[in-house]
A and B are shown apart, each in its own frame.
Chain A
């Protein structure tokens, strides 16, 4: 039972343009959400998070939007840079001991 879904396995975007990554979840108990970035042969690196009491959080070129009624969140990267080429994982947690559920990831390729 996959509670966090990233339906786009890959995304190709031109350098300087916007990258939009989407994530859907089914468990209404999730109350915080995170995005991780992963390069090959490395562990995931924390990127940005958002609490369920907010609908937007911004950190530099990265903005996460949360739509609780639609159980949907998205990550916007503006402008996209070649170093952003990586796999991006969406994760969600509940008000418990910090267990995270991860999506399957979206491979982003930023082309010059």
Chain B
């Protein structure tokens, strides 16, 4: 069964350092999402791509976060510099995108657990 791949699974860093997370969506999925999940809360969308284009990054803290999906396949989310409040689970999801994302089932990867010290 096809899955969304993410790496690393765990990352510990010190504040002010740079970190990067990688996501490989299910093959053929046009829509890719990055979510942040703080302990005790539900996932919150950071950025959504349709192919290589950003369609929603309204909740992305753009002063320190960046995301790219250069060839419309895999994606990288970067934080620079990391702050203590960035400690969370970072989840990647993908969907087929055949209807522009609306109503498409989103399939999630295992996530990257980030701890900022």
Contact among B31, B43, B95 for A44, CB-based, below 8 A: B43
Contact A46-B107, Cβ < 8 Å, known A4-B42, A103-B42, A104-B41: yes
| Max chain A C-beta neighbours (<10 A), residue from B6, B56, B97, B106 | B106
Q: A96: CB under 8 A from chain B? A: yes
Q: A51: CB under 8 A from chain B? A: yes
For residue B42, which residue of chain A has the nearest CB? A102
Q: B108: CB under 8 A from chain A? A: yes
Shortest CB–CB separation between residue B22 and chain A, in angstroms?
15
Collect the chain B residues with CB atoms within 8 Å of residue A42's CB.
110-111
- Report the count of interface residues on B (CB-CB < 8 A): 30
Q: A110: CB under 8 A from chain B? A: no
User: In the complex, A103→B42 CA distance in Å?
Assistant: 5
Q: A20: CB under 8 A from chain B? A: no
Contact B106–A98 (Cβ < 8 Å): yes
For residue A49, which residue of chain B has the nearest CB? B105
User: In the complex, A35→B33 CA distance in Å?
Assistant: 17
User: In the complex, A91→B31 CA distance in Å?
Assistant: 18
User: In the complex, A50→B31 CA distance in Å?
Assistant: 21
Contact A98-B101, Cβ < 8 Å, known A43-B4, A105-B42: yes
Contact among B42, B100, B108, B111 for A97, CB-based, below 8 A: B100
Interface stretch (choices B44-52, B64-72, B75-83): B44-52
Shortest CB–CB separation between residue B109 and chain A, in angstroms?
5
Contact A93–B102 (Cβ < 8 Å): yes
